[in-house]
Chains A and B, each alone.
Chain A
C-alpha cells in the first residue's frame, strides 16, 4: 500500500448564490484546488464527486474538460464528503492511480431537510406524524445528554458564539456576524433545548481536494499533508439514531465512536496528539457530544472546558476553527471537504487570522448524519 498526500485544496464559499448551479460551484472548487497543487485538469487520472441534490456530480467535467477519466458519483448522507475522500485515497493507496480529485457540491433549499421516510427504512406514517426530522433527533439526544452529564443551556450558547466568532474570521463562511450568548438562548426554540441559532442551515457551496501518492507529492508541493487514516462506520443494533421510530433497550455506542477508534488505530495516533479539530456540529449539542465520542474529553467535562475557552482557536482543543457547520451551513456533499480544507490550511500554517498557534501537526475531522453514519479522517504534516 502507498501513503497518500493532500497536495491541493480548494473551496467555493458557502452561503446562498442565486441562480449559480452547484455544478459551477464544484468546478470552481476543483480549479482552485488544482491551482493550489500547481496541477492541471488533464493530469488528473480519476475523481470521486459527492452530492445530495445533484444526481450526477460528474457533470463538472463538462466545465473542466472532457478528458474521459473515470469519475465516480457518491452520496452517503452527511458523510458523503468523507466517503468521496476515502474512496479517492483508497484508489491511490492500492496503487490503481497516482493523482486524483475528491469534490463535493450542493445547493439546498432553506429549512430543515425532508424526504420520503421509506427511503430511510422508516415507515411512511413516521413522516405523517411529524417525526421525520433530523432536528428532533438532535434535540432528543442532547436533552438526554445534558441531563445525564450536567451540561447547561449556557454551554450550548457558548458553542454557537464561538463558531460565529470564528466565522467572522473566515471569508468563505455563510454566517459572519457574531452573536452574544443571551441572544442565542433567547431565540425561538425549534427543538428543545435547541434554539434557532443552535442549528446549522442547509445552504450552498463546494470544496475539492487533490490527492496524490505520497512519494510523488514533491512534484506538486513542498508542504504535503498526509491523510493517515479515514474510517467510516454505520450504526449498530442498540444505537438510537436519526430517522428511527424505535431503539433496543440495551444501548450500544454511536457510530462515531467506532469510526473514531478505527481511525486512531489505523493512524497510530491518539486524541492527545491532535492539534486542530473539526467536528460535525449540525447543532450546538452535537459538537458537545462529539467532543466526547471522538475521545477529546470525558462525558460532562465539556461544561468546564467550554467555560475555560478550551475549544477556542487559542485554546487547548481548538474545535471548528473556520466556524464549523454553524457558521458555514451544510451543503451536504461539500461539508466534509470544507473540514479538510480548513485542516490543511491550519497544518500548513496558512490559516491567517484563524491560525491555531504552536504549529499544530495533527488534524482531525468527523462527520455524522442520517441514517446513522459517521466518517473520521486524520491528517498530519
Chain B
C-alpha cells in the first residue's frame, strides 16, 4: 500500500524515527514550528531548517470532539468521525508544538506525561493511497530510560 505524507515539509518521512521540520533563527536562536520566512522574535528574514527533538512532555491538551469544517481534510463524515486529542507538547527545552495525540481518552492523558513523535494513518484516498499525519504517542518508560542514559 502506498503511504504519502498529508502535507510536504512537516516531518521527515519515510523514517523509522520521524522528526518535525522546524526552523531556528541564527541571530537570536529562537526555535519555531514550522520554519517561518522570518523570525517571530527578532524579525530576521533568514531562518535555518532545524530538526526538532522527537520526544517531549505534554504541557496542555484538549479532545477535538466534533468534526471540524473545511479546510479539515480528514475525510470523515459526521457518522464516521471519532474524537482525537490535540496537545501542546514541549520538545526538550527548544520549543512547544501543537499537534495531534494518538490518545483521545481524557482519563489516559496527564499533564507532564512523556510523548514521542509517530506518523499514523490520517485517511485513505479512493485509489487506496494511505495519507499519513504526525502525532504524539505516549512514550514507553523503557525507551525513556534509554534516552536518558544516552544523554
Contact check, A246 vs B96: say whether CB atoms are below 8 A apart.
yes
Contact of B100 among A127, A129, A139, A141 (CB under 8 A): A129
Contact of B59 among A117, A136, A144, A244 (CB under 8 A): A144
Given contacts A244-B98, A248-B30, A249-B95, whether A140 and B62 have CB atoms under 8 Å apart is: yes
- Known: A129-B73, A132-B71, A140-B98; 19 extra A-B contacts, CB below 8 A, are A112-B66, A112-B69, A117-B71, A123-B10, A123-B34, A129-B133, A130-B64, A130-B84, A131-B98, A131-B100, A132-B68, A144-B60, A189-B83, A237-B40, A244-B98, A245-B98, A246-B96, A247-B96, A248-B96
**Which residues in chain A, 216-271, are within 8 Å of chain B measured between CB atoms?**
237, 240, 244-249
Contact check, B59 vs A189: say whether CB atoms are below 8 A apart.
no
Contact of A143 among B62, B93, B97, B98 (CB under 8 A): B62
Given contacts A132-B71, A246-B32, A247-B96, whether A125 and B64 have CB atoms under 8 Å apart is: no
Contact check, A140 vs B41: say whether CB atoms are below 8 A apart.
no
**Which residues in chain A, 85-140, are within 8 Å of chain B measured between CB atoms?**
111-112, 114, 116-117, 121, 123-125, 127-133, 136, 139-140
CA distance in complex: A366, B8 (Å): 40
Given contacts A191-B65, A249-B93, whether A147 and B111 have CB atoms under 8 Å apart is: yes
Residues of chain B touching chain A, judged by Cβ–Cβ distance below 8 Å, are 6-7, 10, 22, 30, 32-34, 36, 40-41, 59-66, 68-74, 83-84, 86-88, 90, 93-100, 106, 111, 133
Let me know if A307 is at the binding interface, CB within 8 A: no
Output the least CB separation between B4 and chain A (Å). 13
Contact check, B96 vs A190: say whether CB atoms are below 8 A apart.
no
Query: Which B-chain residue is minimally distant from A128 (CB atoms)?
Result: B73
Query: Which B-chain residue is minimally distant from A121 (CB atoms)?
Result: B36
Output the least CB separation between A119 and chain B (Å). 11
Given contacts A140-B88, A190-B66, A192-B106, whether A246 and B71 have CB atoms under 8 Å apart is: no
Chain B residues with Cβ under 8 A from A244's Cβ?
98
CA distance in complex: A125, B9 (Å): 10
Contact check, A111 vs B69: say whether CB atoms are below 8 A apart.
yes
